[in-house]
Amino acid sequence: MPPTRRTSLDALAAFVAVARAGSVTGGADELGLTQSTVSAQLQALERELGYRVFDRTSRGVTPTSRGRALLARIGGAMDAAVDAVAEATGAGATEHTVFLGGPAEFLSTVVLPRLREWAGTDLDVRVRFGETPELLAGLEASELDLVVSTTQPRMRGIEFAPLVDEQFVLVVAPALLDAFRRDPDSVPVVAYGDQLPIIRRYWRSVFGRRPAGLRAVAIVPDLRVLAGLAADGVGMTVLPTYLAAPYLAAGRLVDPVDPADPPLNTVYLARRRSRPGANPATDAAAERLHALLRA
């Protein structure tokens, strides 16, 4: 039975993507969907057509003779439809808004002050601050175009590339320096989270052991605030160097350890996987972010 007007465009898009990728997994990645969703769409399409469009093999899928004929008929039309929608929504226009998500501290300190370097381009940016898991969920749901992620994303349909390595430094106010030298574990702590994740990681990496009996006097999920509290002598903390540097230069904080091999954390730039050239504004924004942090 030939396809009717009721044929799902999503199912046809899934068919084209899988046929070109050679596997359901590859097609799902291309579309940013789960493998089970794409499989269900293909099954629905085959039921409506009344014939198989793929032969399943151990190495993936290959179109049947009827599947090849269908791909020849609709492949170009599907591409044209995608381009038409992109133009109608402004995605293919010169001016475009890119939705960028990331940690407030990193974006506000490292990225946003340098947006003037985007001047003269056709890119506009809308920023959302948040924790990495919620931002990646927003990326998956197409609410964001790019996410600066503090962890390596492990989500189907999401691709990523290293953006920069954060270096961490343990800092105390000069008034607490002698106490730290006597017994580092006795100095009060100001921390990002209840479990002291950044500080514990520093202890393991630099001192080769877990901290013993650290006492958190303030838990504040904002590294910028923690820098100020530490500088005021409330307690020690661990900060990325881009936040600690001004306080260290001014003498308001000191590094009592200065390890030869300080802890690092790789920051990634994540985006939805798509066919090359499908999102030129996102491509341009990603390239500019990488260029900013290489400079």
Mean pLDDT, contiguous 10-residue spans, the chain (295 residues): 61 88 83 84 90 86 90 84 62 65 95 77 85 92 92 90 96 97 96 93 95 94 96 98 97 96 95 79 88 79
Cα distance between residue 51 and residue 48, in whole Å: 8
Q: Which CATH number is 167-263's, of 3.40.50.2300, 3.30.70.360, 3.40.630.10, 3.40.190.10?
A: 3.40.190.10
Q: What is the CATH code of the structural domain delimited by 9-88? A: 1.10.10.10
pLDDT confidence of residue 217? 97
**Predicted structure pTM score:** 0.68
Check residue 259 and report its DSSP letter. Answer: -
- Assigned token pair, 198: 């950044």
- Assigned token pair, 280: 């030129």
Q: What is the CATH code of the structural domain delimited by 96-165+266-294? A: 3.40.190.10
pLDDT confidence of residue 157? 84
pLDDT confidence of residue 119? 61
How many other CB atoms are there within 10 angstroms of residue 57's CB atom? Answer: 10
Which one-letter amino acid corresponds to residue 217?
Answer: V
How many other CB atoms are there within 10 angstroms of residue 117's CB atom? Answer: 12
pLDDT confidence of residue 1? 43
Q: Where along the chain do the CATH 1.10.10.10 domains lie?
A: 9-88
Q: Where along the chain do the CATH 3.40.190.10 domains lie?
A: 96-165+266-294, 167-263
pLDDT confidence of residue 89? 53
pLDDT confidence of residue 256? 97
